[in-house]
Amino acid sequence: MPINQVQPEAVEFDVHTDEMLINMGPQHPSTHGVLRLVLRTDGEVVTEVTPHIGYLHRCAEKIGEHLSPRQFLPYTDRLDYLSAMNMNLGWSLTVEKLLGLKVSEKTRHLRVIMAELGRIASHLVAAGCYGLDLGSFTPFTWTFRDREKILNLFEAACGARLTCSYITVGGVTADLPPGWLSQCEQFLTEFAPVVDELHAVLTSNAVFVRRTAGVGVLPAATAIDYGCTGPVLRGCGVAWDLRRDGDPFYTEMYDGYQFEVIAQTEGRYPQDHPYPPVPAAACLGDSWHRFYVRMLEVVESMELVRQAMAKYAAAAGEVDKPIPLKKKLPQGEVYLETEAPKGQMGFMVKSDGSPIPSRVRIRSSSFCNLSVASELCRGVLVADVPAIIGSLDLVLGEIDR
Amino acid sequence: MNIQEIHSRLARAFQPWLAATGFEAIDPWIEVRPEGLPEIGRYLRDSQDLWFDMLHCITGVDDIELDAKKSAAKKAEQPDWEPHLELIYHLSSTRHRHRLVLRTRLPRWHEDTPGRLPEVPTVSDIWSAAKWHEREVFDLMGVCFVGHPDLRRILCPEDWVGHPLRKDYEMPREYHGIPAR
Amino acid sequence: MAEFLLSISAPAWLAYSVAALIQCALLLAVALGSAAISIWLERKVSARIQDRLGPTRVGGRFGWLQPPADGLKLLCKEDIIPAAADGPLFRLAPYISFCTAFCVFLALPFANNWVALRLNVGVFFILAVSGLEVFGVILGGYASGSKWSLYGAMREAAQVVSYEVPMALCVVVPVLIVGSMDLVEIGNHQAGWFWHWHVFHDPFTFATFWIYMTCAVASTNRAPFDLAEAESELVAGFLTEYSGFRWVVFFMAEYPAMFLVSGLASVLFLGGWNGPIPIASLLHLTPAVHPLAGWIGNLLGMCNFIAKGVLGITCMIWLRWTLPRLRIDQVMTTCLKYCVPLASAMLAGVMLWMYLLPGGVWTQAEQLWSPSTVNAATAVRREQAPGPPRPAEKQAHHEPEPMDVVWTR
């Protein structure tokens, strides 16, 4: 057992007080939206956590049964609204898989740029908010400052900052404006030193390590059992990234790209960059590792954006235009998962031959990642609950759909 | 391991529970009978060379044609078609990196009595991910998972009436005095 | 003040009442002013740390009117008392906090003898009264009728009461050196160049100073020890149900408390009103030369004192906006496992030091450099002290401190 792990009996010396049921949320500063957690507490020790969701349920799947895929695209923006580009990508690829449509090389690289920028933006919010959950306000403003720059790039590309609807079925809504690539290059140059600053105030900060290392330890088997994906799964040391291990229809988007799956395997992380060392108190699968994986993925995504920009600039031809709004879908059913920043985002489309799908299913990564919370928050302290929930990086728009 | 191999493995042990297959589909699938689901699931998870340790998603599909004309046309096309529910289980193996789509077919109502939910055995004791996915299917599609430890509504409020993702669902006129339509 | 009024033949009751009123008004101004300045400073410093500008427009440049504007906005807010709250206690709690925070200023000297109430147990008074502040928080949390508030209150009780112990142990160290609990005397003991400050007195006091600062931050409930509020865990802790004016009053207690602990640190360890360079005495601004000169010297001293207080506050702000919050068990561990034993060890160390080598490191060095006169007081002390004989070279040296009188008591 890591030294930092809370032992309820050691904290409380077997002094049992009255049990208390507390509502954490749906209005609470650290539940990242309208999540409600019912805590059963015994003094400062939480014996049971029951998540209640559905406060942001907007019937996205039902709406999908009434709209054509391109009309549904803006609704995907509002699933994980912190990485709308990745949601757009997941939906577009799913419909393209049903249509059997392959996009041009130029479009493919453009999509990689956008998806990876979206991943950086999402991980920045995750890192900043995680600092906030632990009581450190400053990294939050730093990460939002740099996220703004990514949103500026999105705005320059498609006119929208948050709900982009840029990557769309068949292609993208428009090619990049002139000068965009140099702006993006400038952002990457400016952003690189910020990662080190974030490592200084969070990852390797002594108080941060004390609050996260050994807290909320998720064994790899449990993570897989609960269907946890993304950084939550990789934080357990499972090298599983759909960009490498996914459906061929998705992985071919990353053909020719150099990247490694960020997970601690054989006791070490990929060592391409000067990362701060893993503290002794941290154990695989704890909140610290989940956070660390995200921070490393930011660096990796920057590298991918650089590669993609070079490939995009080199690619000949035009970017693809979207399919017609009311294009008939072939009969059939497809399911495709993509590696969104928060985990594997799956879409299923079932069509009976009309332009409007007969069933749309959204498999949310945060949904599965949250379902393991009641396992993680057993016998922890009240202060650990935000530390654990925050390390799962939830977005309620995606959970409640 | 590809889908045919998986199917032949299953056929050796569970032939009576296997129904149709869809090897030509974009995502090839194997259909099983609901009562065989837990056994097959356990076999899929525990066999060393199958090792389907991750359940990605459970999808409920309401296969009904509300329009009478279309319904008749579909019936003419496929004589054995009946309005039914389908459950689709998307599985994968983190060890062998292969995927499987498992599906099962349920009546829309238990014993054709509207209001009685069709029953299917739970797989939440095999994959914990099913705990919440089955709750969601129960909530939105109206399928009763027998043996589920905590089968409550998950997205809709607990006193909600009906199962919204069914095709014949009608939004209530009001909910606790809030006009809904 | 009262003496002056009595001297112009005012009746005794009038003289004392007027003097008390004037001093109260001055102290209230200091307390509220320190709150306003701290809030402004907090906003600006945190903004700079976070790569923002902070308030820029209210009151012209630098947003210096932001705290009054904040206060005005909060005063205009609806005052909500939850139905489940215990009304009278809920109303009373903020005032208890504020009154205790304010009362402590009574005994805090701002310059040589510039103190509302010169007590020969000043240190003790400050520790005792500032310890009462926790009652307001506990009452407020308990009376709110909210579980989050109760958590905040219980954490505050556990934390503040625990941290009083190491803090008191640290405070005893300068008292031990000076031999008096009178804050004015402690301050005057450090007169001269900055190496006369207690923090540089010996290695033990240097360590004690940092332990004291840790405990001071903890006792004012500032991050990383702000567990009683802990907005990401407890919504706002004991403040959850407070709004408008009552909330302001709690804040009016928090910020003066910050000034108070840094002021106390400055008197106890950082020379109080004695600047790093003894400008006042170099320029002969002492009452011995002229009363007015003494007054100006004191004014300079007060500026020194306030500057040190503000510096302490700035450091606390800096800490708050840099560090994540500790967990309750870690806070208690820091106190009970580290601060208390360390503070005790430092106290023992200082005792030993004072017994073996009365006077600080620099005093010793100074005397080695210019051995001239023999201090009678040290000799007296040596005669009284039945210790082992000390090295002869050290016996020859003395302390040129103005506070030799301490040892003759």
What mean pLDDT do residues C307-319 have?
89
Half-sphere exposure of C233 (CA within 13 A, CB side): 30
C:197-226 residues touching chain A, CB 8 A cutoff:
223-224, 226
The whole-number pLDDT of residue A113 equals: 92
For the record, the structure tokens of A309 come out as 């920009």
State which amino acid sits at residue A222: T
Distance from first CA to last CA of chain C, Å, rounded?
A: 29
The angle subtended at Cα A49 by Cα A43 and Cα A52, nearest 5°, is: 135
In the structure, what pLDDT confidence band is assigned to residue C4 with cuts at 50, 70 and 90? low
- Residue B136 near residue A400, CB atoms below 8 Å: no
For B127, the closest chain A residue by CA position comes to A225
pLDDT at A120 exceeding the cut of 90: yes
Identify residue C35 by its one-letter amino acid code. A
Phi, psi of C366 (to 5 degrees): -55, -45
Tokens 């600039």 identify what position?
Answer: A313
Give the whole-number percent of chain A exceeding pLDDT 70. 95
Helix C147-178 to helix C340-356 angle (10° resolution) is 10
Query: Which residues in chain A are closer than 8 Å to B154, comparing Cβ atoms?
Result: 53-54
Q: Is the pLDDT of residue C194 over 90?
A: no
Per residue in C11-68, pLDDT (tens digit) is 777 878 888 888 888 888 887 888 888 888 888 888 888 888 888 888 777 888 888 8
Q: How many CB atoms lie within 10 A of CB A344?
A: 27
Closest-CA residue to A121 (of A255, A276, A305): A305
Residue C390: pLDDT over 50: no
Using the beta-carbon criterion (under 8 Å), do A61 and B132 form an inter-chain contact?
A: no
Q: Is C237 on the interface with A (CB under 8 A)?
A: no
Query: How crowded is residue C157: how many other Cβ atoms within 10 Å of its Cβ?
Result: 17
Q: Describe the strand order of the beta sheet including A359-363 as a list of residue ranges.
A: A332-340, A343-351, A359-363
Residue A30's Cβ-count burial label (10 Å; 0-12, 13-18, 19+) is buried
* pLDDT band for position B3 (cuts 50, 70, 90): confident
Of the candidates A112, A116, A158, the one whose C-alpha atom is nearest the C-alpha of residue A322 is A158
Q: Please give the mean pLDDT across all residues of chain C.
A: 79
d(CA C359, CA C366): 11
As given in the structure block, the two tokens for residue C281 are 């005495």
d(CA C3, CA C24): 17
Residues C327, A29: C-beta atoms closer than 8 Å: no
Residue A50, strand partner residues? A38
**Distance from first CA to last CA of chain B, Å, rounded?**
50
- Paired tokens of A19: 């049990």
From chain A, the residues in CB contact with B136 under 8 A are: 367
pLDDT tens by residue, C123-160: 888 888 888 888 888 888 888 888 888 888 888 888 88
How far is C149 from C128, CA to CA, in rounded Å? 25
- Helix C244-268 to helix C66-75 angle (10° resolution) is 140
pLDDT at A202 exceeding the cut of 80: yes
Asked whether the predicted pLDDT for residue A174 surpasses 80, the reply is yes
- Per-residue pLDDT for A180 more than 80? yes
**pLDDT: is B72 or A367 the higher one?**
A367
Q: Structure tokens of A178?
A: 């002139």
Helix axes A105-133, A138-158, angle to 10 degrees: 160
SS3 A36: strand
Burial zone of C319 (CB within 10 Å; 0-12 exposed, 13-18 middle, 19+ buried): middle
User: Of all residues in chain A, what percent carry a pLDDT higher than 90?
Assistant: 23
Q: Chain A contacts of B58, Cβ < 8 Å?
A: none
| Percentage of chain B lying above the pLDDT 70 cut | 100
B128–A226 C-beta distance less than 8 A = yes
Angstrom distance (rounded) from CA A56 to CA A38: 17
* Chains C and A: 3 or more CB pairs within 8 Å of each other: yes
User: Is the distance from CB of C403 to CB of C186 less than 8 angstroms?
Assistant: no
Number of Cβ atoms within 10 Å of the Cβ of A317:
9
Residue owning tokens 């300079």: C300
pLDDT for the residue numbered C54 = 83
DSSP-based three-state secondary structure for A331:
coil
Using 50, 70 and 90 to split pLDDT, how confident is the model at A87?
very high
Instruction: Tell me the residue ranges of DSSP E strands in C35-191.
Output: none
User: Which residues pair with residue B89 across a beta bridge?
Assistant: B58, B102
- Contact (Cβ atoms closer than 8 angstroms) between residue A231 and residue A297: yes
The helix/strand/coil state of A337 is: strand
Mean pLDDT over B76-101 rounds to 86
Query: Are the beta carbons of A329 and A95 closer than 8 angstroms?
Result: yes
C300/C285: higher pLDDT: C300
Integer CA distances (angstroms), C96 to A276, A397, C139, C180, in order: 47, 44, 9, 30
Contact A145 C51 (CB under 8 A): yes
Sequence-separated (6 or more) residues with CB below 8 Å from residue C372: none
Nearest to B129 among A62, A98, A226 (CB): A226
Angle between helices C203-219 and C147-178 (to 10 degrees): 160
Check residue A346 and report its DSSP letter: E
Distances (CA, A) of C46 to A125, A127, A191, C314, C318: 20, 19, 22, 10, 7
Interface of A with C in 23-62 (CB under 8 A): 28-30, 44
Distance in angstroms (rounded) separating the CA atoms of residues B17 and C152? 58
What pLDDT score was predicted for residue C401? 42
Q: Specify the pLDDT at position C238.
A: 81
Are the C-beta atoms of residues B8 and B15 closer than 8 Å to each other?
A: no
Per-residue CA distances from A222 to A218, B129, C205 (Å) = 7, 10, 52
Whether residues C231 and A29 touch (CB distance < 8 A) is answered with yes
Cβ partners under 8 Å of residue C357, min gap 6: C202, C364, C390, C394
C327's tokens: 């967990």
CA atoms of C234 and A382, how far apart (whole Å) = 9
* Pairwise CA distance, residues C150 & C156, whole Å: 10
Name the token pair of C276. 């790093």
CA-nearest of C214, C219, C309, C304 to C262 is: C309
- Which subunits count as partners of chain B given 3+ CB pairs below 8 Å? A
> What is residue B61's three-state secondary structure?
strand
DSSP one-letter string for B28-88 = -EEEE-GGGHHHHHHHHHHSTTT---EEEEEEEEEE---SHHHHHHHHHHSTT---EEEEE
Res A272: pLDDT: 65
Here the tokens at position A128 are 């900043």
Instruction: Determine the distance in angstroms separating the CA of A27 from the nearest CA of chain C, rounded to an integer.
Output: 9
- Contacts of residue A29, Cβ cutoff 8 Å, sequence gap at least 6: A132, C231, C232, C235
Which among C233, C240, C241, C326 is the top mutation candidate for probing chain A, defined by the most A β-carbons within 10 Å of its own β-carbon?
Answer: C233
* Closest of B36, B37, B80, B82 to residue B55, by C-alpha: B37
Per-residue pLDDT, A273: 67
Q: What is the mean pLDDT of chain B?
A: 86
Specify the pLDDT at position C5: 66
Does A337 contact B at CB distance below 8 Å? yes
Which residue from C105, C71, C39, C86 is spatially nearest to C246, judged by alpha carbons?
C71
Q: Does residue B93 have a pLDDT over 70?
A: yes
Confidence (pTM):
0.84
Nearest-by-Cβ selection for C51 from A137, A142, A386: A142
C1 — pLDDT class (breaks 50, 70, 90):
low
ipTM of this complex prediction, to 2 decimal places: 0.87
* Sign of the CA dihedral running A388, A392, A398, A401: negative
* Contact with chain B for residue A36, Cβ under 8 A: no
The verdict on A207 touching C (C-beta cutoff 8 Å) is: yes
* Of B162, B25, B35, B36, residue with least CA distance to B101: B25
pLDDT at A143: 92
Give partners of C (≥3 CB pairs < 8 A).
A
Whether C362 and C394 have beta carbons less than 8 Å apart is answered as: no
Q: Residue A262: what pLDDT?
A: 84
Break chain C into its structural domains and give their ranges.
38-71, 77-358
Q: Is A8 helix (H, G, I), strand (E, B) or coil?
A: helix
Whether residue C50 and residue A141 make contact (CB cut-off 8 A), yes or no, is yes
Please give the radius of gyration of chain C, using alpha carbons only, rounded to the nearest integer.
Answer: 23
Q: What is the mean pLDDT of residues B16-23?
A: 82
Chain B residues in contact with A247 (beta carbon < 8 A)? 99
Q: CA of A357 to nearest chain B CA: how many angstroms apart? A: 12
Comparing CA positions, the residue from C129, C135, C145 lying closest to residue C96 is C135
Q: What is the bridge-based pairing of β-strands A380-381 and B84-92?
A: unpaired
- Measured between alpha carbons, how far is A144 from C2 in angstroms, rounded to an integer? 58
**DSSP state string for C67-109:** HHHHHHHHHTS-----TTS-HHHHHHHHHHHHHHHHHGGGG--
Regarding chains B and C, contact by 3 or more CB pairs under 8 A is answered as no
Q: Is A26 on the interface with B (CB under 8 A)?
A: no
Greatest alpha-carbon span in chain B: 57
Question: What's the token pair of residue C152?
Answer: 């905040």
When pLDDT is cut at 50, 70 and 90, the band that residue A150 belongs to is very high
Average pLDDT rounded to a whole number, residues C205-234: 83
Q: Answer whether A20 touches C (CB < 8 Å).
A: yes
8 A C-beta contact, residue A137 and residue A131: yes
Nearest CA in chain A to B139: A54
Please report the DSSP string for C281-323 in residue order: HHTT-STTT-HHHHHHHHHHHHHHHHHHHHHHHHHHHHHHTTS
Lowest-confidence range among A51-60, A271-280, C146-155? A271-280
